[in-house]
């Protein structure tokens, strides 16, 4: 077996061994029935203690990828990349029991604490100079469309203005739903008014969908890397998360059918366009493959599509919802980036029978959403202001993206590796240097710059020590250039 241990990584050695074997199993390199080396043999081969190998094997057993046998004696692969699958009579994705082998643990909460501290630039040791935040993936306040929003708000107080003092329908304000329909048509998503549910933000939308489809201990499949906030949200729902790897073309869908057969998930959660945090875009062929597997195994898909309009070049790839012919995709979008965070308005698109249930959940949990925010959003859209806002965001984002990539590429003494994103407001970057990630994080903050360490986006921080997420939507060009200079200085100081 070809297992290379990197002792400079913060990832425990047993987790490195486990991850390497898992990848070989999922890729089909180790087929079902393959016998793994005995504990002592693998320990000698890798230069580790036998107990380290035992612990790695135990983790693989927990995930039901291998089994320990007495006769014949040894460890054997049990994962099978089945191409055919016989459905149980009367099968519905809503009735399958969840796999119990991949439970979320307390480490996620620790990760999320650091994620929040970096996002809000709070809780870490104070820097002697103002911290430039490349950690928060938000739009700068300078781009908030204050003039247009103030215009709409002033009209509310005029005679005959909108009556925002009372209740609004649980499904959402009819004016906003109509405006959303117009937006969706531009994206080739044709939804009736009864197929749209207004919510306050995307996490709430996902929680509502989970209440309909998931029970305690059920399983979902999500892309890896994944937002720590989203992992914590699923943890609060008591849901098992099975992750699927990604490459430059998004989710590696050739692994998907094997994971479906193995774990029988009830939902697939994906961000196919400008994925968070990698900014990758799922290719068209993989979108069709994902939909085909969704139809074959009767598994709903949650598609989060908040950043797809922040595109700098290239032809847009149709959303999963636009390609969906069977009604399996629940589409989620938000106006936090394209209008402003304070509007706190998002929406879901799903078959009418689903939105009726979503409206009932809204009525039972919140009664209704603020009609004021909904009216402002509807007017902002119907007057065409949202398209001006998107254009300004794209101009600013393209300028900062180009500046960031040029600055990184021009730093000749540091091996920064990245793919230039075609949209979104963050860059997924590999620092191909011999550095300690904890030392780098502390040194960077000491020098006055923050970023998101890549290992935050992997369960148990088992990968990503050489990765960072750099956000460029919330800083001026001058701040961005200075922030990268400070980061590079921190990298130089953290070598060895």
- pLDDT reported for residue 390: 97
In a domain, 82, yes or no: no
Confidence of residue 134 (pLDDT cuts 50, 70, 90): very high
In a domain, 162, yes or no: no
Q: How far apart are CA 221 and CA 240, in angstroms?
A: 9
ω into 277 cis (within 30 of 0): yes
Q: Is residue 220 over pLDDT 80?
A: yes
Highest mean pLDDT among 62-66, 161-165, 443-447: 443-447
In a domain, 159, yes or no: no
In this structure, the dihedral spanned by the alpha carbons of residues 271, 378, 359 and 361, taken in order and rounded to 10 degrees, is 70
Predicted TM-score (pTM) of this structure: 0.80
Last residue of a domain, one of 77, 96, 127: 77
Determine what percent of the chain is predicted with pLDDT higher than 70: 89
Residues 6+ apart with CB under 8 A from 151: none
In a domain, 454, yes or no: yes
Do 369 and 408 share a domain, yes or no?
no
Do 201 and 284 share a domain, yes or no?
yes
Question: For the range 47-56, what are the long-range contacts, defined as Cβ-Cβ under 8 Å and sequence gap of 24 or more?
Answer: 47/5, 48/5, 48/13, 48/17, 52/13, 52/14, 52/17, 53/14, 53/17, 55/14, 56/14, 56/15, 56/17, 56/18, 56/21
In a domain, 214, yes or no: yes
- pLDDT reported for residue 94: 43
Last residue of a domain, one of 27, 55, 77: 77
* 138 class by beta-carbon count within 10 Å (0-12 exposed, 13-18 middle, 19+ buried): middle
Q: How far apart are CA 222 and CA 186, in angstroms?
A: 28
Do 394 and 470 share a domain, yes or no?
yes
Do 383 and 234 share a domain, yes or no?
yes
In a domain, 29, yes or no: yes
Do 137 and 206 share a domain, yes or no?
no
DSSP for 145-186, written as a single string = -HHHHHHHHHHHTSTT----SS---TT--HHHHHHHHHHHHH
Do 347 and 418 share a domain, yes or no?
no
- Helix (H) or strand (E) run with residue 243 in it: strand 240-247
pLDDT digits (tens, 9 = 90+) for 20-50: 999 888 888 888 888 999 999 999 999 999 9
- Do 318 and 284 form a contact (C-beta atoms < 8 A)? yes
- pLDDT reported for residue 107: 41
Mean pLDDT calculated for residue range 386-413? 97
- pLDDT reported for residue 459: 83
**Strands, E assignment, 350-483:** 416-418, 426-431, 449-450, 452-453, 467-471
Residue 419 is part of a domain; what is its CATH number?
Answer: 3.90.1150.10
Do 327 and 203 share a domain, yes or no?
yes
Structure tokens at 308: 């797809």
Confidence of residue 98 (pLDDT cuts 50, 70, 90): very low
302 three-state secondary structure: strand
In a domain, 97, yes or no: no
Domain count, the chain: 3
Start-to-end CA span in the chain (Å): 29
Q: How far apart are CA 419 and CA 404, in angstroms?
A: 12
Q: How far apart are CA 445 and CA 182, in angstroms?
A: 45
Of the candidates 380, 374, 251, the residue with the CA atom closest to the CA atom of residue 303: 251
Could you list the residue range(s) of the whole structural domain that residue 435 is in? 107-143+388-493
Residue with the bigger pLDDT between 193 and 87: it is 193
Backbone φ/ψ region at 298: left (φ over 0), alpha (ψ -120 to 50), beta = left
Confidence of residue 18 (pLDDT cuts 50, 70, 90): very high
Q: How far apart are CA 177 and CA 183, in angstroms?
A: 10
Q: How far apart are CA 448 and CA 442, in angstroms?
A: 10
Q: How far apart are CA 431 and CA 435, in angstroms?
A: 9
Question: For the range 364-370, what are the long-range contacts, defined as Cβ-Cβ under 8 Å and sequence gap of 24 or more?
Answer: 366/200, 367/167, 367/170, 368/167, 368/168, 368/169, 368/170, 369/168, 369/172, 369/198, 369/199, 369/200, 369/345, 370/168, 370/344
Lowest-confidence pick of 85-94, 107-116, 167-176: 85-94
Do 208 and 255 share a domain, yes or no?
yes
Do 406 and 441 share a domain, yes or no?
yes
116 three-state secondary structure: helix
Last residue of a domain, one of 387, 409, 440: 387
CB count, 10 Å around CB of 41? 13
Do 73 and 192 share a domain, yes or no?
no
Residue 71 is part of a domain; what is its CATH number?
Answer: 1.10.10.10
Residue 364 is part of a domain; what is its CATH number?
Answer: 3.40.640.10
Residue with the bigger pLDDT between 299 and 3: it is 299
Do 325 and 431 share a domain, yes or no?
no
Do 421 and 375 share a domain, yes or no?
no
In a domain, 165, yes or no: no
């Amino acid at each position: 077996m070809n297992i290379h241990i990197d002792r400079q990584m913060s990832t425990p050695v047993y987790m490195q061994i486990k991850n390497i074997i898992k990848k070989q199993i999922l890729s089909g390199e180790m087929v079902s029935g393959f016998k793994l080396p005995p504990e002592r043999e693998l320990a000698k081969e890798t230069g580790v203690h036998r107990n380290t190998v035992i612990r790695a094997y135990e983790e693989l057993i927990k995930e039901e990828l291998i089994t320990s046998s007495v006769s014949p004696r040894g460890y054997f692969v049990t994962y099978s990349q089945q191409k055919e699958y016989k459905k149980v009579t009367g099968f519905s994705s809503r009735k399958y029991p969840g796999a119990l082998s991949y439970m979320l643990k307390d480490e996620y909460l620790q990760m999320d604490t650091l994620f929040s501290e970096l996002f809000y630039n709070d809780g870490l040791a104070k820097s002697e100079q103002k911290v430039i935040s490349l950690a928060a993936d938000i739009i700068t306040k300078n781009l908030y469309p204050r003039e247009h929003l103030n215009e709409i708000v002033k009209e509310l107080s005029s005679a005959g203005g909108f009556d925002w003092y009372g209740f609004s329908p649980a499904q959402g304000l009819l004016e906003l739903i109509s405006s959303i329909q117009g937006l969706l048509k531009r994206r080739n998503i044709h939804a009736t008014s009864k197929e749209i549910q207004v919510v306050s933000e995307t996490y709430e939308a996902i929680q509502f969908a989970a209440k309909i489809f998931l029970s305690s201990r059920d399983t979902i499949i999500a892309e890896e890397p994944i937002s720590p906030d989203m992992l914590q949200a699923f943890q609060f729902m008591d849901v098992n998360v099975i992750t699927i790897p990604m490459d430059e073309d998004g989710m590696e869908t050739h692994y998907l059918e094997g994971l479906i057969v193995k774990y029988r998930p009830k939902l697939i959660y994906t961000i196919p366009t400008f994925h968070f945090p990698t900014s990758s875009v799922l290719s068209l062929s993989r979108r069709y493959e994902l939909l085909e597997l969704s139809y074959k195994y009767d598994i709903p898909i949650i598609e989060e599509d908040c950043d797809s309009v922040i595109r700098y070049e290239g032809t847009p790839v149709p959303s999963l919802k636009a390609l969906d012919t069977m009604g399996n995709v629940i589409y989620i979008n938000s106006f936090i980036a394209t209008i402003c965070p304070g509007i706190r308005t998002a929406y879901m698109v799903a078959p009418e029978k689903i939105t009726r249930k979503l409206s009932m959940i809204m009525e039972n949990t919140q009664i209704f959403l603020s009609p004021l925010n909904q009216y402002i959003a509807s007017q902002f859209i119907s007057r065409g202001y949202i398209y001006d806002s998107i254009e300004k965001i794209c101009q600013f984002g393209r300028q900062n993206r180009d500046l960031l990539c040029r600055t990184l590429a021009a730093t000749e003494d540091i091996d920064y590796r990245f793919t230039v994103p075609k949209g979104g407001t963050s860059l997924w970057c590999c620092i191909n240097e011999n550095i300690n990630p904890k030392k780098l994080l502390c040194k960077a903050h000491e020098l006055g710059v923050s970023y998101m360490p890549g290992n935050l986006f992997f369960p148990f921080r088992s990968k990503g020590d050489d990765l960072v997420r750099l956000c460029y939507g919330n800083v001026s060009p001058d701040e961005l250039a200075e922030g990268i200079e400070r980061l590079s200085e921190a990298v130089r100081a953290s070598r060895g």
